[in-house]
Amino acid sequence: MSDTVLIILAGGLSRRFQTQRNNWEDKILTSFHDIPILIHLLNKGKGYFPKISISVNTQARKNLYLKTIKKYEISPSPSFVIDKKNIKFKGVLLGIFSSLMKYEDKNIQFIPSDRPFLELGILNNMSVNKCGTSFLCHENGMIEPLLCLCGSKIYIPSQFLKLHLSRADVIIRLSPHLQIYNATEILETNNLSPLIFKNINQPSDIQLIENKIDTTTNVTVLPPKIIRRSNLLKIEIEEEKENKSEFLQTLIETKNFYAAFLWGMYFGMNSKISRAEYLDWASVALKHEYQYWIDNKLPFLALHALQDLLQTVPEEQNERNIRTIRELKERMEIRPRKKL
């Protein structure tokens, strides 16, 4: 994939990896076979991707990783992306967006830094529409948003950079062209263990996972399911246009439901529509989005649409919606994180 940059997302705090007895430990520098996870990922990645970059949140972290890379004489040395400071995005979305801005003319394959046993041959065989995203979905509906492949012409309206957003699925929910690869079928076709997708949460996970997986160098990836809708770039908006409702309705009609929600949030934040109007549009947009993802058999995205609805519109915090959220999580085996 000569036109694709591999981005290793390494800006997190690794909270679940820490213990009260130890000082903070950078997960990506934890070693197995006397080699840090970072070096394992770089060695695996360069077999498939000619360009590798590491996404970090500070210059200090970049300097720390450069020392490790120099010690193990990795060649060619990866480049780095440091999180932008002048936008409201945070968390993993900030790392993703900063990478998209640096390599705006390239396809980008993202991977998290805590999956040293991931079979990169799977990702190498995925394709993407230049305006869309590609990702893996398991049989139970759980998707892999941090393994997202983004096209070279991904579009995020500049107004959205003023919103406090943090989740990786924001990019997917805005994309006009989705390619969904069945992770369960890929594992079965290639006789691979589901553990290749597991992330390292505790030091003990490394040995546990390593002892139960096999690797392969020849991976078969079956054709993806494709979902298309109108491109946001083709739906123009004039900032001073009086009728914001007409624009939001256009987004609803073209199935850009999450975009309608975010535009409504932006308009409300800047007093271009009243709070009551914003809540009305949020309710309409997110209810449509929830059903859209259910109809397309993507319950993970439906779950996030419903969670956004409950967090935004107080009247929707009823027993029926709360029960639906619980059922979706049970279906996808999403368990609450343990408190530290």
Percent of the chain with pLDDT over 70: 92
**Rounded-to-integer distance, Cα 119 and Cα 38, Å:** 15
pLDDT of residue 121: 94
Q: Give 135-167 as a DSSP string.
A: EEE-TTS-B-GGG-EE-TT----GGGGGS----
Q: Is 257 exposed, middle or buried (0-12, 13-18, 19+ CB in 10 A)?
A: buried
Query: What amino acid occupies position 188?
Result: E
Residue 282 has pLDDT above 90, yes or no: yes
**Rounded-to-integer distance, Cα 292 and Cα 316, Å:** 18
pLDDT of residue 146: 96
**Rounded-to-integer distance, Cα 264 and Cα 270, Å:** 10
Average pLDDT over residues 104-129: 95
pLDDT band of 340, cuts 50, 70, 90: very low
Distance of CA 186 to the CA centre of its chain: 20
Residue with the two structure tokens 């343990």 = 338
Kindly report the number of other CB atoms within 10 A of residue 80's CB atom: 18
pLDDT of residue 205: 83
Residue 23 has pLDDT above 70, yes or no: no
pLDDT band of 12, cuts 50, 70, 90: low
Average pLDDT over residues 88-97: 95
**Rounded-to-integer distance, Cα 180 and Cα 161, Å:** 26
Average pLDDT over residues 33-61: 93
pLDDT of residue 239: 62
The CA–CA distances, whole Å, from 213 to 11, 193, 196, 208 equal 27, 6, 7, 9
Residue 163 has pLDDT above 80, yes or no: yes
SS3 10: coil
Q: What is the pLDDT of residues 246-262, one digit of tens each?
A: 999 999 999 999 999 99
Q: What is the pLDDT of residues 64-74, one digit of tens each?
A: 999 999 999 99
Beta-carbon contacts of residue 123 (< 8 Å; ≥ 6 apart): 48, 109, 111, 147, 149
**Rounded-to-integer distance, Cα 81 and Cα 56, Å:** 6
**Rounded-to-integer distance, Cα 133 and Cα 262, Å:** 19
Residue 15 has pLDDT above 70, yes or no: no
Range ranked top by mean pLDDT from 37-41, 309-313, 331-335:
309-313
